Amino acid sequence: MRCDEARAVLSAALDGEVAPDAAAGARSHLAGCPECQTHIDAWERVRRELLAVDDRPDLVAGVLDRIAHQPSRRTTVRRTLPLVAAAVAGLIVGATLVSARPGRGPDLVGADIPRRVLAAQSRIDSLEAQVEITERGWHPSVPVRRFTGALVYVAPETMILHLADRTEYPAGQWVPNNVDVVVDRSMWWARGPAPCPTEAQPRCTPTEPRVRVVTGREPFAEDLPAPLDLVLPASGFAIGTDALVLERERDFDGRPATGVVTTAAQIGALLDALHVAGNWRPVPPTAGVTLWLDKERLVPVGVDVDEVSGRGAPALEIRLRGAAPLARPQDAAVPTPPAAPVVRDAGFRDGEEAGPTPSWLPAGMQPYRNGAAGPVAAASWSDGRAWVKVRATEAWPGGRLFGGLGEIVRTVPLPGQGIGYVGEGGRKVAVHGAGVDLVVTGSIPSPDLVRVAASLGVRGEPVPSDWVEASTATLATARAALAPLLVLRGSKNYASPSIRVEDDTVTLAYAGAGDRGFVLVQSPGTALAPPFDADVIGVRVRGRVGRWTPDTHTLEWLERGHLIEMRSRTLRLAELVDAAHQLRVAR
């Protein structure tokens, strides 16, 4: 073994990322190599020094003071922007791929898909199906893993997923990745192998599965993907416009299915539901995905996740076979939770005070679960499938909007009731009222959420000037702050942007389908800042030479005396470049 080879193994071993037996060869090399021993000694001394910083300030008082008194400090907002690409995740609009076909209009059939998916949620009140999963490339010693199992869904808030690992592992201490995830109204539990880095497999996975049990959940709580998303990608199509649909249909168990071409970001909720427990190969949000929807029921019957390289068999294939409604959904047997070392109580109690009640709800919506968790009251309604929830509190300390809307929001008029704020790409509508703060969320289209918010009898006021969202601006304000201002025009793939103006810097956040989206930042500038990372790539964008930094997922270029930045962790470079080509000067 050469010195550099041995040291590469020993470096990983120092971090606990290599099994002792796998490092045996490197260690025996080390025993006879003084030069390598010098390196290892230096690494270990560096480690000691790095952990020896002793001038650690107590930050608590300063942080709380900043939150209380200057949350919208101007520099703070600008500096948060690179993360906004991630915060834009969780946004909507049923659109899809634009990258490969710049300028191409939506497929006529595709334009119909999101509307049909959303409409379908009101037709599916139960479902059972056999699940088959094939996963490739998880570990060098285990190139393919196969799972079979069953999925049961009963609207609106019950799901039972059982997966049995059918993989033939090589000899050794491999722990089967058997997984159970059960959600039933106020309770959920999950059982599966404890998380462990792939490179440290199999030695680091305990043989005993990890069990998590949570009770006292709020209705449709966000700590897990909504069960509905596992059987119908509703959140990925909530403000749908158009989708790229494969021309050729495919048969699944004798039933025709339509293929929708997208990326993992659009069906993040579905993939997250599968990955609640156990060890899986990570799926990057930009991975190519073909989602096969049963042509009649719009239920996903197949998901193919591409290899990142775009070559070879799919990295992940999910198949739902024999999908059919339950004969008697009300009789679905929900497995009781296994014994768990800790049962966490999320604190929600049904039946307590429920806060403001809307005077308008979509047809068929009936009260579902009401209650409170501490100072936050929550009330929910469901037509048995689709759902709406209102959370309200009189104890919000301020500084930012209540409800977790993300960094960038946009204002929306509430007819006759002042203004509201829309975030999470339209999936949440927040209202800051006199003495009360509330947020409306649900599986229904965004305009309906706004209508529900406007019917709560709470007049929405602009947030105080020292709240984060106070710099939320209109397009006219942004145009006045920086001209000429580029905006996305002519794309049905993104919703109207959320806009923020900080001095002469304008930030627009565009939400796309599912978790897809990007942030566009424009400020005066005549030179690109020096590259932060050596791995930058020159890119032709809008007829100019720009720069792509893979680590920060940032595309930058100069145009008309402005520095333009586009950031996204959910779009590929080609998709960002394509979106850049659709930018026009705002009028």
Partner 1 sequence: MYEPDPAVVRAASEGDMDSFAELVRGYQTPVYRFLRHFLGDATMAEDVAQDTFVRAYQRLGSFRFQSKFSTWVFSIARNAGVDAVRSQGRRLRLVERAGPPTPSVDPAASAEVEAALAALEPRLREPLLLVEVLGLTYRETAAVLGVPEGTVKSRVFHARERLVAWFEEDNVREV
Q: Considering the complex, what minimum distance in angstroms separates the CB of residue 80 from partner 1? A: 6
CB closer to partner 1 out of 333 and 527: 527
- DSSP structure class, residue 472: B
**What DSSP line would sit under 433-460, residue for residue?**
ETTEEEEEEESS-HHHHHHHHHTSS--B
Q: Considering the complex, what minimum distance in angstroms separates the CB of residue 58 from partner 1? A: 7
Based on the number of CB atoms within 10 Å of its own CB, is 248 exposed (0-12), middle (13-18) or buried (19 or more)? exposed
CB closer to partner 1 out of 256 and 550: 550
Q: Considering the complex, what minimum distance in angstroms separates the CB of residue 14 from partner 1? A: 8
Question: What 3-state DSSP class applies to 271?
Answer: helix
CB closer to partner 1 out of 127 and 267: 267
CB closer to partner 1 out of 3 and 313: 3
Contact between 357 and 456 under an 8 Å Cβ cutoff? The reply is: yes
Q: Considering the complex, what minimum distance in angstroms separates the CB of residue 66 from partner 1? A: 5
Alpha-carbon distance of 298 to 168, in angstroms, equals 34
CB closer to partner 1 out of 276 and 361: 276
Degrees, nearest 5: CA angle 37-42-44: 95
CB closer to partner 1 out of 115 and 275: 275
Phi, psi of 313 (to 5 degrees): -65, 155
Residue 327 makes CB contacts below 8 A (sequence gap 6+) with none
Contact between 160 and 129 under an 8 Å Cβ cutoff? The reply is: no
Q: Considering the complex, what minimum distance in angstroms separates the CB of residue 415 from partner 1? A: 26
Q: Considering the complex, what minimum distance in angstroms separates the CB of residue 537 from partner 1? A: 14
Contact between 384 and 155 under an 8 Å Cβ cutoff? The reply is: yes
Q: What is the dihedral of CA 227, 229, 231, 234, to 10 degrees?
A: 140
CB closer to partner 1 out of 188 and 494: 188
Most distant pair of Cα atoms in the chain: their distance: 82
CB closer to partner 1 out of 145 and 319: 145
Distances (CA, A) of 133 to 147, 148, 490: 5, 6, 39
